[in-house]
Chains A and B, each alone.
Chain A
Amino acid sequence: MSTALHLAVALDGTGWHPASWRLPSARPAEVFSASYWADLVRLAEAGTLDFVTIEDALGLQTDRLDGPDERTDHVRGRLDAVLIAARVAPLTRHIGLVPTATVTHTEPFHIAKALATLDHVSRGRAGWRVQVSGRAHEAGHFGRRTLPVLDPAAPDREIVADLFAEARDHVEVVRRLWDSWEDDAEIRDAATGRFIDRDKLHHISFDGRYFSVKGPSITPRPPQGQPPVTALAHAEIPYAFAARSADVAYVTPTDAAQARKIVSQLPIPHVFADLVVFLEESEPAARDAHERLDTLDGTAYTSDAAIFTGTPAQLADLLQEWRAAGLTGFRLRPARLPDDLVGITGGLVPELRRRGAFRTAYEAATLRGLLGLSRPANRYAVAEEARVA
């Protein structure tokens, strides 16, 4: 079994620590500009990372469970992640672009064509981080349903199951729409005057509990066929969703044993661990950086993912240990941008390369290629061959 590992970074605002925006190197006033995102993604690409994810939500950031807060001391506001990815696509050549898009209140038809178009624009580098919204205040932005406030420690099982069942249908519709055009549907046949062979376009005729969608998509099949679908999962119901619907799951173990156990529940090509990282030249310097930010914020930062504080070499040790436990890669969440991204590309990546555990150059032109996933056959074309046989 290969010991090489995959690396992604999760980009969000000025970094994952809420006080990161106050550091001298932070650019808080620029997080709503294109150049800010272009700089970060180019930096990640210079480190030959597999992909970046871009966080998003259908509501304002908040520290409260029951709705928006009135805080003025944290970064608030964000741009649409799919559009950030599209804006950056022509400026990059190799790195995967994986925006977050919520499935709970959105139309699968719109999301399918948006991600297919991102794949066309980036020539095969699009992915999708599927996000389920259980937030009552986000439901209020759409006014189509009401949700109770869910306690993440003990959420109402029935509501969560329902939200994830809807997510499963949503992803199924998106995947069918991506296949609703066969690759060779466009024929431009001058003799008959036909632009397409309409037998190679397919109604998907999805009829489920939450919605029905006829198809076909208005957008031809994306270059990758199926852009990779990814999802963050912390518990049983999301694990089941990821196992069925995703190509890459992001999970949040705290040690190798736990990682091994989670991996056994996810029979999919890739399981990545999420880690918040503070990287410095020495362990005390990293601890000091972490503590200084906590002090600035007036509270100790907590996260759903484990928080790593140390040197690139120590992080490389940890990643290799967890890699041996069955994880195939990692989605690192820089606590500070750009500092910890620089720590990843300038410290961790060279360290892993020295150990023969990470690529030295991009070996594939598409995100599926970087992830070792072949281009899938079209489900409708396959069905046709089967009928003929």
Chain B
Amino acid sequence: MPKQIHLAAHFPGVNNTTVWSDPRAGSHIEFDSFGTLARTAERAKFDFFFLAEGLRLREQGGQIYDLDVVGRPDTFTVLAALAAVTTHLGLAGTINSTFNEPYEVARQFASLDHLSAGRAAWNVVTSWDAFTGENFRRGGFLAESDRYSRATQFLAAARELFDSWPADAIVADKDTGVFLRNGSAGSFRHTDDQFDIAGRFNVPRGPQGRPVILQAGDSEAGREFAAATADAIFSRHGTLVEGQKFYRDVKRRLPAYGRPEDSLKVLPAATFVLGDTDADAHEKAAVVRRQQVSGATAIKLLEQLWNRDLSGYDPDGPLPEIDPDVSGDHIARGRASVRMHRDPIAVAAEWRARAEAEKLSIRDLIIETTNRQTFIGAPDTVATAIDDLVQQDAADGFILVPHVTPGGLDEFADTVVPLLQERGVFRTEYAGPTLRHHLGLEVPA
């Protein structure tokens, strides 16, 4: 039997992948948008719905960034509401381990798991930046090097809380008057560098035992953290060669933690553009990329590498002659991607050379370097590409990021999913009620 594919729907994010100027684009805050996308994902038998989070509005050049979608809901609250309009779809939320406390987060996830009858998942992220910390009473105290130890200890504390109620703790026998089997249910004590907490947890064990754990870090420490603790990795390596390399790298780390290979799913993020024919899809994809990278956006993205105010440059003109500023604080704040450029001067030189050789303007170059969609083609082409990547162990499935809210998944659900089902690599019905069932994960002891 071929490997079964896992699919998730990412609610379009607050970045330039999301084309808010599309005439079909809906609200990013009204509940109907979340409900619509979630229902589409459930109709298509997806594993889960995914919500990202960022706890401070992004700024660039000292001003709130205004070219992308701005504004998001509270993660837990919107997922709990989605549990009311779906029945099987997993509900995954990104929650930061730096600006929260284990007792509170554990009771929110345990509550979500009860209220969704076993569909909660937690994408654990870490951050340390004082910029985001300015929104929090306990913000900005973490050194970058401490962020994974904070995350590891946070997750360990949360696990102790999830495990503090035995599955059979509640008897609720009206005749004998016994509600709790044992009067010490929920007792815990956790002490380490980050936390010194003890007492009684107040939410009984959820249907999944613990929520499914997702992790998105790509660094050495992040990969090790995922191998030790996560049920799925949200990766950014969606191509065959890069994907296989990443896949092998994280799976080989599992035996050291006594874990079988299939206990950690690798799910790269993926964008897509569909068309009636491959040529039609490529044409559409080019249009979408120009929508995603307006002239103004191209300059702002270029500034993120150059770390300078480039507002005087023409997006349809050549790249700046001056080099990036590597001396001071970064011009863009509240964004993880700015750390990806390890050597800005070298990257700038590379970009300049490419722009000259291929006669690319600033906008052309930004489009070429930042925004190529993962899957472009007719439905059959895309279904084949997804299936090949999964069967060749470049991934266990994908977290799909539509570029239009909330209808951007409709076409995929209607055309690609049936083809994957015909191939026998994607479920036609949910086999069980919980997200652990969908992902083939054991309920933890």
- Residues of A participating in the B interface, judged by any CB pair closer than 8 Å: 21-24, 26, 28-29, 32-34, 38, 57-61, 67-80, 82-84, 86-91, 105-110, 113-114, 116-118, 120-121, 123, 137-138, 140-144, 181, 186, 188, 190, 192-198, 201, 210-216, 218-220, 296
Cα distance, A82 to B104, chains bound together (Å):
12
Does B392 touch A at the CB level, under 8 Å? no
Interface pair A29/B178, CB less than 8 Å apart: no
Nearest chain A CB to B439's CB is how many angstroms away?
A: 22
Which chain B residue has the least Cβ–Cβ distance from A181?
A: B71
In the bound complex, what is the Cα–Cα distance between A296 and B316 (angstroms)? 81
Contact of A141 with B197 in the complex, beta carbons under 8 Å? yes
Closest A-B pairs by Cβ, 4 of them: A70-B183, A211-B137, A86-B80, A80-B111
Closest B residue by C-beta to A297: B177
A72 to B: closest C-beta gap in Å: 4
Given A70-B184, A198-B64, A78 and B202 contact (CB-CB distance below 8 Å): yes
Task: Say whether B135 contacts A214, CB under 8 Å.
Answer: yes
- B326: Cβ under 8 A from any A Cβ: no
Within 8 A of A (CB), among B62-106: 63-64, 66-74, 76-78, 80-81, 83-85, 99-101, 103-104
Q: Which residues of chain B come closer than 8 Å to A33, judged between CB atoms?
A: 114-115, 117
> Which single member of A21, A87, A116, A143 contacts B83 (CB below 8 Å)?
A87
Query: Which single residue of chain A is at the shortest CB-CB distance from B27?
Result: A186
Q: Is the CB of B77 within 8 A of A22?
A: no
What residues of chain B lie closer than 8 Å to A201, measured between beta carbons?
57, 64, 70
Q: Are B70 and A195 in contact (CB under 8 A)?
A: yes
Q: How far is the CA of A201 from the CA of B21 in the complex (A)?
A: 21
Q: Which residues of A contact B165 (CB under 8 A)?
A: 77
Residues of B whose CB lies within 8 Å of any CB of A are 20-21, 29-31, 35, 54-57, 63-64, 66-74, 76-78, 80-81, 83-85, 99-101, 103-104, 107-108, 110-112, 114-117, 134-138, 165, 170, 172, 174, 177-186, 195-204, 294-297
Indicate which residue in A76, A106, A142 contacts B180 across the interface (CB closer than 8 Å). Answer: A76
Q: Are the C-beta atoms of A60 and B108 separated by less than 8 Å?
A: no
**Complex contacts, A86 vs chain B, CB 8 Å:** 76-78, 80-81
CB contact under 8 A between A141 and B174, given known A69-B183, A87-B80, A196-B70:
no
Given that A34-B117, A77-B165, A86-B81 are contacting pairs, would A120 and B73 also be in contact in the complex, using a CB cutoff of 8 Å? yes
Q: How far is the CB of A275 from chain B (nearest CB, A)?
A: 26
Whole-angstrom distance between the Cβ of A27 and the nearest chain B Cβ: 9
Does A79 contact B77, Cβ atoms closer than 8 Å?
A: no
CB-based contact A121/B81 at 8 Å: yes
* Complex Cα–Cα for A220 and B33 (A): 15
Task: Give the complex CA separation of A364 and B73 in angstroms.
Answer: 25
Are A83 and B77 in contact, with the CB atoms below 8 A?
A: yes
Chain B residues closer than 8 Å to A34, beta-carbon distance: 83-84, 114-117
Chain B residues whose CB sits within 8 angstroms of the CB of A22 once the complex forms: 174, 177
A210 to B183, CA, bound (A): 36
How distant is A181 from chain B, measured CB to nearest CB, in Å?
7
Between-chain CB contacts (< 8 Å), 24 pairs:
A21-B172, A22-B177, A28-B174, A32-B203, A33-B114, A60-B201, A70-B183, A71-B180, A72-B179, A72-B182, A77-B186, A84-B111, A87-B81, A90-B81, A109-B55, A118-B77, A140-B197, A141-B103, A188-B20, A195-B66, A196-B64, A201-B70, A213-B137, A219-B72
Q: Is the CB of B107 within 8 A of A80?
A: yes
On whether the beta carbons of B78 and A117 are closer than 8 Å, the reply is yes
A193 touches B136 (CB 8 A): no
Indicate if the CB atoms of A108 and B137 lie closer than 8 Å: yes
Central interface residue in A26, A59, A77, A214, by most chain B CB within 10 Å:
A77
B183 surroundings in chain A (CB, below 8 A):
69-72
Known: A117-B78, A220-B29, A220-B71. A198 touches B174 (CB 8 A): no
- Find out whether the CB atom of B114 lies under 8 angstroms from the CB atom of A32: yes
A236 to B116, CA, bound (A): 42
Instruction: Please determine whether B29 and A120 come into contact, CB atoms closer than 8 angstroms.
Output: yes
Provide the bound-state CA to CA distance between A220 and B28, in Å: 10
Q: How far is the CB of A245 from chain B (nearest CB, A)?
A: 18
Which residue of the partner chain A has the closest CB to B201? A60
Assess the A213–B57 pair: CB atoms within 8 A: no
- Give every chain A residue within 8 A of B182 (Cβ-Cβ): 72
Q: Which one, B63, B67, B71, contacts A193 given CB within 8 A?
A: B67
Given A76-B180, A76-B185, A137-B199 contact (CB < 8 Å): yes
CB distance from B407 to the nearest CB of A (A): 17
Given the complex, which residues of B lie within 8 Å of A194, measured CB to CB?
66-67
Alpha-carbon gap, A32 to B170, bound state (A): 11
**Cβ of A67: which chain B residues have Cβ within 8 Å of it?**
199
Partner of B84, one of A88, A143, A296: A88
Chain A residue at smallest Cβ distance from B69: A195
B100 pairs with A117, CB closer than 8 A? no
Report the Cα distance A87→B194, complex, angstroms. Answer: 33
Chain B residue nearest to A202 in the complex (CB): B64
Residues of B within 8 A of A123 (CB): 31
Bound-state CA distance A12–B324 (Å) is: 60
With A117-B73, A196-B64, A215-B135 as known contacts, state yes or no: A142 contacts B197, CB within 8 Å: yes
Minimum CB–CB distance for B402 against chain A, Å: 17
